[in-house]
Structure 1
C-alpha cells in the first residue's frame, strides 16, 4: 500500500506544508546515489558537483561548517530543492525530477514542526490518516512508534506539555511511523542542551540499528558525527573533501581541512626533503621528522609540499628518565583546560602552540599555566597529508 505524509507547521499565523513519502518495493531499497549533483542559487553555487553512494541501512552523515552545502544536499535528496544539474537515485530509481511526495523519504527538522493544536497521537498519525490508513491500524502503528522512541502512553498528551527532547522524539516517531526507506535528519539535536543531545545521539543510533532504515544525517557537530555515523562525508565550500568510516577520517585525513575540522590536531605544513637518511618536513621555523612509510620517495624529488598532522592524544610529555621522542621541544604551558577525564594543554614552544591531551590519573603529573616541560611526538603517531 503506498504511504504518504503531509506535515503542516503553524508559525506566525502561516501554514507551511512539507511533503514526503510514497512507498516503493524493490532490491537495494534505501540506497541513495548522487551523481554530479549541483545546486545554484543565482550566482551562488551551494553544491558543486557532488558524487556520493550511500548504502541501504547505513547511518550516513554530511558533516561540515555552516554554508558548506550539506543542508542543500539533504533538501535535494528530499525533493524540497530542484538540482541545477546532476542525478539523484533512491533505491535504484532516478528521482531527480520527482516531486517530494513521490519519493520514499521522510525528513526530521531541527524545529520539530509539530502541530501545536493536536495531541501527540494525532501528530504521529496525521500522515497515516492522509493516506487513508484505517483507524485501528493507525492506533496500532502509533502505539508501536511511541514504544520505539520510549514514550509509550503519551498519545493523549498535548504537544505544549512536552519537553524539547520529547518533542524531538515525537518528530522522529511521526517520520518513522510511515515506514520510509530513507530518513533525512537536518541537525535535529542542535537546539537541545548538551547532556540531552548526547543521550539522544545514542538513542538515535540504537533506533537506526533496530530498524535498518537508511539515515542521512546533517550536522556541523563533530562529536555527533563521530558518535553515530557508519560513514561520514566531510563537506567544504559545496564539495566533498573526504568520505569514509569514522576511524579512517579521524586517523587518516586526506586534506588539512579534514584534519583540522574533525577534532583537535597539531598541523605542520612545509616542504619534505631527505636529510642524513631521514625524511624531514621544513616548516621554516622548525624541522619535523616524518613517518617514512607514509611518504612516497618519488614525491621528494621535487621537494613536495605536504603537511603532517598529529592528534593531541598522540602527543607525549615524557616523564623524567623516559626515552625522548622523534620530535622534541621545550615549552611553557600556556593553558590547561580541564575536561573531566582528560586535560588539554596548550604549550608554547616558541614558534607555535602545541596541543597535548593527557588522561587524568594518580600516576600522571598534572601541569599548570607557566610550567616548563618537554613535549613531542613519534613520527609513526602522525599522518602525512599530500595536498592535491
Structure 2
C-alpha cells in the first residue's frame, strides 16, 4: 500500500462523524477529584491517581485528552488534573466532548441518574444531540415502587412501557447483572408473568432479579420491532463474568429471531469472537466492543480486529459506554479511530483491499449501521 492510500484511510476515519449508540450521562458539578477518578474506571473505588493513570486507559487519557485541555500529549497526572480544574467544569467537559467528533448520543440514563447532569445540558456542552435508550429493569422497578400488589404492578408496568415507547429509540437489559444471560428461550405465559409479579411484590425487594419478569420485558421490546441492547461481558464489580458469556444467550436468540426486533450485544469483551459468531449466525443480532476499546487503550486494535473476524460488517457499531467522566467519551472515540485506521489500513496493505472499501467499512461502523438499526430520523449525523 502506498503512503498516500494509508493517509487517505486515516484522514477519512479522523473526519468521520460518530454515533455513540450506547452511552450514559456525565457526573454533575461540583466534581471532586476522587469521584472523577472513580468514574474513569470500572472499579467501584480507586485509591490514588496512579491506579488510573498508570494503566492503558490512563495513558490514553494523557495521549488524547491532554491536548484537548491545552496541554502537550502525555502531560503527567498532576498537570492534567490541575489544568482540568483551572478550566472549570463546563469548559473542560465541553472541550473533551467536542473533541470526540460524536454528533449523536443514544443515552441509557438508568444508572445513578441523580448524580448526572441533565441530558440537555450535556448536549449543549457537546454541541450534539441525543435520544433515550430505556433501561427495562429500571422502568420495572419504578412501576413496582408504587404498586399495591403484583397485579397492580403489571398494570403500572403496561402504562410505563406504553409511555416509554413514545420516546425511546431502543431498550436495554442488564440481565447479565441480575440473573445471568442463560434466559429461558420461550416467551413467558401470562400466568407465569403474573406469578412472578406476585412473588416479586411479596419479597419486597426493590431490585428486579426475577428472570421471568426480565424475559417478559425482553420479549416485549423485541415484539415491538425495536432494538434491545444486552450487556455482555466486561462490566462493574457486581457482575459475574461466567454469567455474562453471550453463548448463554444462544437459545434465547434462536427463539427470538423472528420476533420482529433486533438485539445488540454490548461491549462483549473478552467474548468478542463468541459474540461475532452469534452475529454471524442470527440475522437479528448485532454487536459493539465499545467499553473495552477505551479501557485497553493502545491494544484497541487487537479487540477491534477480533470483532471483524466473523461479524458481518453491516452489524458492527460504535459506542463508548462512557459514564460520569467525559474523558471516557473522548478516549472511546479516539481509540476507535486509531484502531480502525490501523486495522483497515493493514487490510489494504497486506490483503489488497481497495482504500475506498476500507473507508466504506469504517463509515458503516462509525454511523451508517446505527442509522440503519435505529432509524434515519434519529441518528443521521
Shared topology, TM-score over 0.5? no
Which of structures 1 and 2 has the larger relative contact order (alpha carbons within 8 angstroms, sep 6+)? 2
* TM-score normalized by the length of structure 2: 0.33
| Greater helix proportion | 2
Larger Rg: 1
